[in-house]
Structures are given as structure tokens and as C-alpha cells.
Structure 1
Amino acid sequence: MRKKVTIVGAGNVGATAAHWIASKELADVVLIDVVEGVPQGKGLDLLEAMPIEKRDAHILGTNDYADTANSDIVVITAGIARKPGMSRDDLLQTNYKIMSDVVGKAIAASPDCILIIVSNPLDAMAQTAYRQAKFNRNRVIGMAGVLDSARFRTFIAEELKVSVENVTAFVLGGHGDTMVPLARYSTVAGIPITELIPKERLDAIVQRTRDGGAEIVKYLKTGSAYYAPSAAAVEMVEAILKDKKKILPCAAFLEGEYGISGYYIGVPCKLGARGLEQIIEIRLTPEEEAALKKSAEAVKELCAVIGV
């Protein structure tokens, strides 16, 4: 029997995640959205591509959570983007209500699922889902670090003109301006990038990584990134469904790790069949530790606004 993955939100990120999952033949996919017709149309279109791609994955678009029953993983991309004139707190309150609603409905249909949160602001939305679901922390994981580290790896590979397969990179902290790309732990074929890239160039690459989402928004003008964010979520889905024990940077609920308790922060996580199976603690320099604490403070502020 094939695995089942539900994706909540049939916008660009959700629909593209469905595409990646089906094209990799990882699971059957249910694409759900409040808008009538959109998930049905996108789901059917994708289903009709399967004979061409020679993939036996079933895709169903729906507005009914009954169709999502007994999902192994639920990926939540639902939420609104910030509109002109809207404050960050307004966005936070709106997406908090959406997240609370969809988590309640999703877990009622799939009480044993693992939740992967993609909606922004990521860390606060993961915290919202965790509080709402009342699951163990291993079953609610936020997607941010996989995307941020992919951007970091892209820019490193471009700078050195090497294969992206040679590049490993780590990013800690919250998803946004306070993220902490760790150059010391980032390598090209095992060689630390600090040995290969001058500091001023590396600083510029780190800054571009922090601004990665904003750079794409600037180009698109009326939208935001979706290919890389959806691919990042699907890498997490694959690690869990295949029990890979893969170490990926994810937002996890910390209980004393890195000296932080009670909040979702991006850290190296081992993902397997049980979801978050281990948080890997690495030694940080005082400067890196201070940057991570600053990132945690930014997450705390957001969580305080919505009371989670």
C-alpha cells in the first residue's frame, strides 16, 4: 500500500510540492484548499501527467478533509502573503487563525500523521501547529533551514564554479533576517569554504542567503519563491517516508538544546520514520552562539504577539 501525503494549500508552493512528490513516486497526494475548483483542477492536471512521466502516483484535489484521512504526512503551506499596507502583526494574526483551523481539521482526519510546516512566518507558525496539535515535538517540524542552506549552497557553487553536489552548507536559527549561516561547517568536497573563499566574498554570500526570498520577490513583483521552498519540503517528506535518518537543518521545538527552551529554532535534525529523531548539537563560537540567541529572541517576539 502506497504512502499518503496531504498538502494543505493549493497555491504555487503546495501545487509544486505535489508535483515533486508525484514525480518522485514517493506517495499518493491529496491537495486540499478552501478555494473550490483550484485543487481539483491542479490535481487532475497533475494526475494526467503521470502516464507521460511513467509514475504510478495518484493525485486528488479536494475541499473536503475527509479525503485526507489517514495521511502519513501533512504538509501545510496555507496562509496569506503580506499585502501592501499590512503590518507584520496583521499578517501574523491572520496566518495564526488559518494555521489553527487547518491543523485542527488535518489531525482530526489523520491523528497519527507527521506535520511539516511551510507557512510563514515559519517559526511562529510551527509553534502554533505544535500547540494546536498537542503532538510530541518529533511529529511537528518546520521547513526553513533546508531552503536557506540550499540557497547558500547555490551561491557557493556559483562562486567556486563547482558542482552543487560537492557543496554542503549549514544554516541555523530563525527563517529570516536573523538566520545564522555557518561558514565553518560548510564545505566543498570536505574542504571548509573558509579556506576557499575570501572573507569579504563569503560575507556577501551570507548576506545574499539571508536576502534570498526577498531577492526573488523583487524580481517577481507579485509573488514569492515556490520551486525551491516546495523542493525543500519534499526533501523532508522523502527522508521521513524512506526512513533515511538524514540530517537536515529544520525548525524544531527545543528543550534545552543550544541553551534554548520552548521555541522553534532552526537546528540540524535527523529525520526518519518517526519524524524528528534527533537534534544534533554542534559546538558554536561565542559569536555564533550570540547570533543564534538573537535569532531565538526574534522568534520569541513573534510568538508573544499570538500567545503561543
Structure 2
Amino acid sequence: MMKRKKITVVGAGNVGATCAHWAAARELGDVVLVDVVEGVPQGKALDLMQAAPIYRYDSIITGTNNYEDTADSDVAIITAGIARKPGMSRDDLLNINYKIVVSCAENIARYSPNCTIIVVSNPLDVMVYAAYKATGFPANRVFGQAGVLDSARFRTFLALELGVSFEDVSAMVLGGHGDTMVPVLSHSFAGGIPITQLIPAERLAEIVKRTAHGGAEIVSFLKTGSAYYAPSAACVQMAEAVLKDKKRIMPVACYLNGEYGAKDLYTGVPALIGGNGVEKIYELDLTAEEKAALDNSIQAVRDLMKVVGL
């Protein structure tokens, strides 16, 4: 009998629960929602299960406070950690979320030693590295959601500006998942037409700035929370690429070992994502300005790593 894929989502907050929602709706496999708070993952899982007859998916969704229930997962998505509050930078979250992510990663590795881990917790680039170190997994099986979300935001703003289909806009965002991210205009297109030919430089600069502060803009509206629909959709797109061995090219936070002039850190670069996780990293020809911005972003990641002694 064929065994269904198993997806563990760590953290039953807005991002985690919405990850479970998207994954079940796409029938990627059975989903286990795990959280330290008693009752929350169980309640959300039961609620999602009761939508199955309506939305016609057959994924079994369970909620638990026990990592034993996550055993033999194919993919684990770590969303645990506290969310950003207004006025709080991603960096303020660092020390709190570092301890949380290390604990989650160790527990996942104990029960699912062969799984692939996708990290969403902020500050993202440091948290992926923390999970990589805590698990001892090969680097290709631990990566983070960076440019998939950032490029989705960039593509949204570009499509709205041009009045064209979201499907026809492709864009690349590199670097740290934060204010130093690098939207790469030289590799961004609408229907194959370079975006720089369609939108004036000054307007493009405004869109780039809005993209870099995309998360903060949502936090400022919500007041008591942060974005979760698009972040969770981005995670599930990444998980699907692994589970179905889709060989998607997407910008994710990968471990660099000399690529883009950086070593022993994680940051957002275009990669081939398939059944073995990060199967290849692509080095783009960047303009001098883009390369300088990426170097700056990489340095910002290094500075954060020092804060937690990595």
C-alpha cells in the first residue's frame, strides 16, 4: 500500500495553521500541527478536518503537543517563534526565537532524521542556520523561506502597477529576508519583457522600497500581528517542490559555500528545489549595484549571527 506523504508544521499560530490549511487543500499529504500550547493545535486541526468534506480534500490533519506524533515526516516547516510587533525590528526577535528554533529543530531531527526542513521563523537567515547546526542535517535538507515570499510581494506590486496578470510577472529577490533584501531588476520580467522597459526608474525604486518593507507595512496595519497568508502560501509552494520533486527554480535561503563570495551562512539565492531539497544554486550575473547591495545584505546577516554567537 502506498504511504501518504507526511508534513509536520511546528507552531500553530497564524502562519502555521494557514500552512496546514494550504497543504491540506492541495492534498500534499497528511498534516501534523504541533505546538507547545495545549488545545490550540488540536482545535485548529479539528476545525480544518471539518472543512474536508466541503473543499473535498482527503488529507488527515492532527494537532498535538508531542513531537512523537511527528515521527517519519517527509517535510517539516518551522513557523514557531514570537511575531513582530509594531516598532520591533526582525532583529529584536533574535535571541527569543533562536532558542525556540533550536529546540524545535532538535525535536524534529530526533523523530524524523530523514526529513527536509523549511524554516520561516524570523530573523529568517539566522534561524535557518540555527536549525542547520542544531540538526546536523546536510545543508541541502535545511533551507528557508526568503525570496519566494519577497518576490511574490514584488510581483504583486509590479502586476498592479502594470495592470497585468500576476501570472505573467516573474521577479527575483535575493539576500537576507529583511530590510536589506535585493530585488534584482535585471532579472525581473512581465511576459518576458524586462521590467525596466515598462516602468520608469523612479517609480521602480518606490516599488523596490515598498517590497523591502512589505512585512512591516502589514504589521503597521494589523497592529497586533504580522503577515501570514502569503508567508504560509510561500512555504507550501516550497514544500510541494520537495514532496513532488518538482525541480522548481525559486529564491530561497540556502547554505552558501563560496557562491556569491560568501561562505558558511544562509541567505536568499536562486536554487533548484526538488526531492533532495536544495539540489543546485544558480549564480546570476549581477550589475555592480546589485552585487554591492547583495554584499551589504550578506554582511547584515553576518552581524546578526554574531549576536547569538554563530
Please name the residue that 1:63 is paired with: 65
Please name the residue that 2:113 is paired with: 111
Q: Distance in 2 between matches of 1:91 and 1:263?
A: 19
TM-score by length of 1: 0.98
One of 186, 189, 206 as aligned partner of 2:188: 186
Q: Distance in 2 between matches of 1:192 and 1:269?
A: 21
Q: How far is 1:290 from its partner?
A: 0.8
Q: Is the 8 A contact 1:185 1:192 kept in 2?
A: yes
Please name the residue that 2:93 is paired with: 91
Please name the residue that 2:31 is paired with: 29
Matched position secondary structure for 2:95: helix
Q: How far is 1:82 from its partner?
A: 4.0
Equivalences for residues 172-251 of structure 1 within 5 A: 172-251=174-253
Q: Which one-letter code corresponds to 1:108 in the other structure?
A: R
Q: Which one-letter code corresponds to 2:15 in the other structure?
A: V
Q: Percent identity?
A: 63
Matched position secondary structure for 1:251: strand
Matched position secondary structure for 2:297: helix
Q: Distance in 2 between matches of 1:247 and 1:76?
A: 21
The yes-or-no answer on 1:4 pairing with 2:28 is no
Please name the residue that 1:290 is paired with: 292
One of 281, 284, 291 as aligned partner of 2:283: 281
Q: How far is 1:81 from its partner?
A: 2.3
Q: Provide, for residues 45-84 of structure 1, a one-character-per-residue CA deviation record: whole Å limited to 9, x for no partner.
A: 0011111111110000000101000000000000012457
Residues 82 and 151 of structure 1, relative CA distance in 2, 3 Å threshold: closer
Please name the residue that 2:151 is paired with: 149
Q: Is the 8 A contact 2:16 2:79 kept in 1?
A: yes
Matched position secondary structure for 1:206: helix
Q: Distance in 2 between matches of 1:242 and 1:280?
A: 21
Matched position secondary structure for 2:285: coil
Equivalences for residues 259-274 of structure 1 within 5 A: 259-274=261-276
Q: Which one-letter code corresponds to 1:129 in the other structure?
A: A
Q: Is the 8 A contact 1:89 1:305 kept in 2?
A: no
TM-score by length of 2: 0.97
Runs of 5+ unmatched residues, structure 1: none
Matched position secondary structure for 1:249: strand
Runs of 5+ unmatched residues, structure 2: none
Q: Which one-letter code corresponds to 1:13 in the other structure?
A: V
Q: CA RMSD in A?
A: 1.2
Q: Number of residues paired by the alignment?
A: 308
Q: Distance in 2 between matches of 1:286 and 1:192?
A: 18
Residues 165 and 88 of structure 1, relative CA distance in 2, 3 Å threshold: closer
TM superposition outliers: structure 1 runs of 4+ over 3 Å: 82-90
Please name the residue that 1:14 is paired with: 16
